[in-house]
Structure 1
Amino acid sequence: MHLKHILVPHRYEAEDILKLLKEGKDFSEMAKKRSQCPSAASGGDLGNLKGKKLDPDFEEAAEILKPGQMSGIVRTRFGFHIILRVA
């Protein structure tokens, strides 16, 4: 499961970003500009996470996505995520 994500501390930020993504903004560019995760430098790329221990809420949301599909807003103990399943 290869994932990218955008992490922000507030729901309103995630809502703004999700709206822009649905309007056609590039996921990687939005991650570089807005994500609070160290993965922002690589466009939110988390790589292949199969077999890695993930936050249960994040993992549950990611597992139901099909390759190329983007999640809605996912809340975890780290903040608010938007997840893109690459493969």
Structure 2
Amino acid sequence: MATASACHILVKTKSEAQKLKQELDKGADFHQLAKKHSICPSSKKGGDLGEFRKGEMVAPFDKAVFKGPLLAIQGPVKTQFGFHLIKVLYRN
């Protein structure tokens, strides 16, 4: 089964996600922004979710991780939890 590793920043609003994405596009550090802004418990680890299998995450998140580009910031991706900015570190 396919696996991947990703980091994410989870926020409540699309506008907040878009603002953070603009900061990332200007060179802001993903892990620092995750620690400061993400509402996910993974924020303590800079948004690092570790390795997980295809199908373990909610569908929109899963699709972004397993179909989107590697090492590029994707999002905002909407799920029932809020809006995610996702950085896929690797997949196999």
TM-score, L = length of structure 1: 0.93
Deviation at 1:66, TM superposition (A): 3.3
2:9 is the alignment partner of 1:12:
no
2:34 maps to a residue whose letter is A
Q: Which runs of 5+ in 2 are unaligned?
A: none
The share of aligned pairs that are identical, in percent, is 37
RMSD: 1.1
Runs of 4+ in structure 1 deviating by more than 2 angstroms, as ranges, are none
Q: Which residue of 2 aligns with 1:61?
A: 64
Q: Which runs of 5+ in 1 are unaligned?
A: none
Which structure dedicates a bigger proportion of its chain to strand?
A: 2
2:88 is the alignment partner of 1:85:
yes
- How many aligned positions are there? 87
